[in-house]
Structure 1
Amino acid sequence: MSEQKQYKLKNIELAKILKLDEKITYQKGQVVSKTLVQNKNVSITLFSFDKGEEISSHSSDGDAMVTILDGTGKFTVGEEIFLLSKGETLIMPNHVPHAVYGEEQFKMLLTVVF
């Protein structure tokens, strides 16, 4: 089995320099997601949030790491609130409720390790 099929790579080119912030676009009034890798061990997804859009509180079976690619997003993890801007990263532990809100338009890379 090839490495590409084993890791279920999607929407991503191999052996090429990528500008991840250019791989997803903003859409008015929406949260947009694009899966790059999905398997039983890891999920890697690009997201774009229009200003004011959100993903309500939920929890995950895996530890989640977000890295902001553009703009500013608000993350609530348990009872703590974090404002993250381009270049900043936050780890959200598994089984801890968290939510995401677009303080302004923003893009992020989400990596979840199960």
Structure 2
Amino acid sequence: MPFRNIPTDAAAPLAQLIDTHSGQVSSMALTRNAGFDLTLLAFAPGESVSEEEYFGDTLYYVLEGAACVVLPDARMTLRAGEVLRVPAHVEHAVEGADERGFKLLQLSAQQ
């Protein structure tokens, strides 16, 4: 499946393609295919995603704010511009690292 929800008429900051909405986690698929899923996520302050496990590696790239990836034996804080890979089959959660919201790009490999 081709890319979608990405402008073709002019360049735009990636973080501006998705808005934060009070009390929720917003998501926007940029592509879904047999190889990987690419999704923008916007977390309102206090919002999180509970523990989940993916069949392939997952890459998190923080666009705005700061996020915390909670692993079985560690808490990794990522700030804007930083990236982290979570290996396949590792259960983890994603939450804010402070009282502000944050935006991130998630790339999940399918295996």
The TM-score normalised by the length of structure 2 is: 0.90
2:6 is aligned to: 12
Asked if 1:109 corresponds to 2:109, the answer is no
The count of aligned residue pairs is 108
Q: How do 1:1-114 residues align onto structure 2 when only pairs under 5 Å count?
A: 7-14=1-8, 16-103=10-97, 104-114=100-110
Q: Deviation of residue 62 (structure 1)?
A: 1.3
Aligned partners of 1:51, 1:79: CA distance in 2, in Å?
Answer: 25
Structure 1, residues 39-69: CA drift from partner, whole Å, max 9, x if none? 1111100000011101000100111101100
Per the alignment, in what secondary structure is the counterpart of residue 13 of structure 1?
coil
CA RMSD of aligned residues (A): 1.4
Q: Deviation of residue 19 (structure 1)?
A: 1.1
**Which of structure 1's runs of 4+ aligned residues deviate more than 6 A?**
none
Q: Deviation of residue 78 (structure 1)?
A: 2.4
The TM-score normalised by the length of structure 1 is: 0.88
Q: Deviation of residue 75 (structure 1)?
A: 0.7
Structure 1 letter corresponding to 2:46: G
Unpaired runs of at least 5, structure 1: 1-6
Give the percent of matched residue pairs that are identical in Structure 1 and Structure 2.
31
